[in-house]
Amino acid sequence: MENKTAFNFKEIQSRPERLAPGHRMCAGCGGTIAVRNVLKALHPGDKAVIGNATGCLEVSSFTYPYTSYEDSYIHSAFENAGATLSGVETAYIALKKKGKIKDNYKFITFGGDGGTYDIGLQSLSGAMERGHDMVYVCYDNGAYMNTGIQRSSATPMFADTTTTPAGSVSNGKPQSRKDLVAIMAAHHIPYTAQTTFIGNMKDLYVKAEKAIYTQGPAFLNIMAPCPRGWRFDAADTVDICKLAVETCYWPMYEVVDGKWILNYEPKKKLPVEDFLIKQGRFKHLFKTGNEYLIEQFQAEVDRRWEELKNKCNA
């Protein structure tokens, strides 16, 4: 892993924007927050190639021939962002060996959970297994938001979506969400981590910088709430993230060369209902007679939290 700079919030936030204003992402969109702050982790003067799977981010930040990115940009199909950027990285290495490229580049691709957990998983897995020097960033908003809020394998249990509607015959999505960070860690890549937006973004920035400046493949999973799909006020995005962390629904951790490291443990773990009640997609859980559903959700959060702590203490 290359040397990293000390965290200086003012200096980092004063760096030029690499995601230009004027894109069409929704107010309060977690995806935009994720992209802006990941790109802030690029050191001043460093160049990058940005990849992007089809999804909310792509359709809102790219209309040929214009993009919202100040760096080189390439749009991939829904299913092949990992393959596309790994091909660009391979071409860069070949051209640099021939002396046709002098500058140093970093390679970062973004995809939503639909294009990462599901449709693009084979492409992502291949890129990680082959060992390309690139970073894949998943902005996880927990559903296929771009096409109408359909469930994905990142959608949490009991969430109300357009393909798992809560009602008289259904309690929402019956399955638990996929543990993608563990899947990426099982590829034995140098760096993988999970983070979101809390405090002054230090956790997100530090992990983004580690991922970008680690030699070899790296993966970041960033919880990126969607006000429209999760049904909360756009001004509450960061508060939703804080509750996700404080309830241990969304733990902050990293896996560095196979070592699991817990980055934050709440002093007082909040009940998961504090996180759920803020979102309209879970309002059915708070109807009389559905208390057992919250208990099931809490049990799953507790199980995964204890499992993670055991891995980090091993």
Bigger pLDDT: 89 vs 7: 89
Contact (CB, 8 A) for 135 and 164: no
Residue 159: pLDDT over 60: yes
| Cross-strand bridge partners of residue 50 | 73, 108
pLDDT digits (tens, 9 = 90+) for 249-306: 999 999 999 999 999 999 999 999 999 999 999 999 999 999 999 999 999 999 999 9
pLDDT of residue 166: 97
**Rounded-to-integer distance, Cα 299 and Cα 306, Å:** 11
pLDDT digits (tens, 9 = 90+) for 42-101: 999 999 999 999 999 998 989 888 899 999 999 999 999 999 999 999 999 999 999 999
pLDDT digits (tens, 9 = 90+) for 245-260: 999 999 999 999 999 9
What pLDDT band is residue 5 in, cutting at 50, 70 and 90? low
Could you tell me which residues come within 8 angstroms of residue 109 by beta carbon, excluding any fewer than 6 positions away? 50, 51, 52, 53, 76, 81, 82, 84, 85, 134, 135, 136, 137
Contact (CB, 8 A) for 212 and 12: no
Contact (CB, 8 A) for 109 and 134: yes
Q: To the nearest whole percent, how much of the chain has pLDDT over 70?
A: 98
For the entire predicted model, the pTM comes to: 0.95
Q: Which residue has the tokens 């991939």?
A: 76
**Rounded-to-integer distance, Cα 252 and Cα 234, Å:** 23
CA-to-CA separations, 61 to 20, 31, 54, 66, 73, in angstroms, rounded = 9, 11, 11, 8, 11
Tell me the average pLDDT across 17-36. Answer: 90
Tell me the average pLDDT across 176-186. Answer: 98
Domains and CATH numbers, the chain: 9-313 (3.40.50.970)
pLDDT of residue 9: 85
Residue 10: pLDDT over 90: no
